[in-house]
Amino acid sequence: MSAPSLPYVRQTAGAGAARAAARRRGSGHGSERRPGWVTYLLLTLALAVFVLPIYYAFLLASSDAQTIAQNPIPGLLPEGNFLANVERVLESDIGFWKALTNSVIVATVTAASTVLFSTLAGFSFSKLRFRGRKGLLLFVIATTAVPTQLGIIPLFIVMSQLGWIGQLQAVIVPGLVTAFGVFWMTQYLESALPYELIEAARVDGASMIRTFWSVALPAARPAAVMLGLFTFVASWTNFFWPFIVLGSTNPTLPVALQLLQASYFKDMSLIMAGVVLSTIPLLVLFAVAGRQLVAGIMAGAVKG
């Protein structure tokens, strides 16, 4: 959604990750008594609120347009049309597979490159000495507060000059590296990469890039995984810029999703099947990497 506010991140990012690691080693905190059932009841309720809308989408996705139109409140159990509706989404002319491929490409490339470039810059900012370092780092921090979304008009002009309108580069390139990523990796490497390791590599005659590759990168791994995940989710769910620059000609999933309303009559079961279908990949990712996401946020990762 946005860039973080830096004074706070400074307190938390990286340092927070280190704290989290310490917590994991240590034993929880304060009152070690297990809470009573009321707590669990409240949590279950909260979870229900969070999951209900997704379930609701699934309910509609397994129904049909007519039933939905006649019953504002759907039955609590899914009806049997889910697969049929999914099939209709796949067969519709929104180009689901192409959109999926596009989303995978965009999210993977931006995540990988954000991690790579951020780690490089983080290594440089945290461990190397050069003139203007402090000022440049401050500049990076300051840019996180710049609402780049507002620069869409010239950015659009730039992209059209490059002939990139409707092409994936137009979405990928602006996301190759983020200020937040640079800052996050700087903070992390600051505390996680001992100077001794760098020195040892340098004494062995390793070049800068080799030092980075063999010492900094491995040390950065935990933070890099989190950064990669956040970037992936953020670019997967991104709508505004892809919508403007890609449009319906070469869409990513969110852009394709809204095309399901395209026909003259709105078929809610079809639309919701699309919603569910486009959410499944991230739910799977979440099942696999949810722990890291949680840990990342708790370590000070910020809305991406």
Partner 1 sequence: MRKTTRKAWALAAGVTSVALLATACSGNAGGDDDETAGGDITLTVATFNEFGYTDEMFARYEEENPGVTIEQKRAATADEARENLNSRLAAGSGTSDIEAVEVDWLPELMQFPDYFEDLSSPDVEGRWLDWKVAQATTEDGKLVGYGTDIGPQGIAYRADLFEAAGLPADREAVAELFGGDSATWEQFFEVGKQYSEGSGGKAFFDSAGAIYQGIINQEEFPYETEDGTVTAVSDGRVKEIYEQVVQASVEDGLSAHYSQWSEDWTNSFQNDGFAVMLAPGWMLGVIEGNAAGVEGWDLADVFPGGAGNWGGSFLTVPSQGANVEEAKKLAAWLTAPEQQIEAFNNKGTFPSQIEAQESEDIQSATNAFFNDAPVGQILSNRSQGVVVPFKGPNYFTIQQAIGNALTEVDVNGADPAAQWETVVGVVEGLG
Partner 2 sequence: MATSTRPPRMRRPAQDPSRAPRRVGFSQTLSRWDVKVSPYLYISPFFLLFGLTGLFPLLYTAYVSVFDWHLLGGQGDFVGFENFAFVFNEPNFWKGLRNTFSIFALSTIPQLMVAVVLAAILDANLRAKTFWRMGVLVPYVVAPVAVALIFGKVFADQSGVANAVLALVGIDPIGWHAQPLPSHIAIATMVNFRWTGYNTLILLAAMQAVPRDLYEAAVIDGAGRVRQFFSITIPQLRPTIIFVVITSTIGGLQIFDEPRMFDQLGQGGPGRQWMTVTMYVYELAFGSQKSFGRAAAVAWVLFIIIVAIGVLNFWLTQRIASDSSATAKARKKVAR
Chain residues that interact with partner 1, rule: CB under 8 A: 65-66, 68-70, 93-94, 101-102, 105, 108-109, 112-113, 115-116, 156-157, 159-160, 163, 165-169, 172, 213-214, 217-218, 221, 228, 244, 247-250, 258-259, 261-267
CA–CA distance, 244 with 165 (Å, rounded to integer): 9
**Nearer CB in complex with partner 1: 38/150:** 150
Report in angstroms how near the CB of residue 186 gets to partner 2 at its nearest: 8
**Nearer CB in complex with partner 1: 12/258:** 258
The binder of 12, among partner 2, partner 1, none, by C-beta within 5 to 8 A per type, is partner 2
Identify whether the C-beta of residue 290 lies closer than 8 Å to the C-beta of residue 3.
no
Q: CB-side exposure of 84: number of CA atoms within 13 Å?
A: 9
**Nearer CB in complex with partner 2: 104/136:** 136
**Nearer CB in complex with partner 2: 24/83:** 24
Identify whether the C-beta of residue 109 lies closer than 8 Å to the C-beta of residue 235.
no
Report in angstroms how near the CB of residue 250 gets to partner 2 at its nearest: 17
CA–CA distance, 83 with 81 (Å, rounded to integer): 6
Report in angstroms how near the CB of residue 206 gets to partner 1 at its nearest: 14
The binder of 50, among partner 1, partner 2, none, by C-beta within 5 to 8 A per type, is partner 2
CA–CA distance, 21 with 220 (Å, rounded to integer): 14
The length of the chain in residues reads 304
CA–CA distance, 63 with 41 (Å, rounded to integer): 31
CA–CA distance, 11 with 4 (Å, rounded to integer): 12
Report in angstroms how near the CB of residue 93 gets to partner 2 at its nearest: 18
**Nearer CB in complex with partner 2: 91/265:** 265
Angle at 14 between CA 135 and CA 212, to 5 degrees: 70
CA–CA distance, 160 with 67 (Å, rounded to integer): 45
CA-based nearest residue to 58, from 296, 213, 302, 280: 280
Report in angstroms how near the CB of residue 23 gets to partner 2 at its nearest: 7
**Nearer CB in complex with partner 1: 9/123:** 123
Report in angstroms how near the CB of residue 19 gets to partner 2 at its nearest: 6
The binder of 300, among partner 2, partner 1, none, by C-beta within 5 to 8 A per type, is partner 2
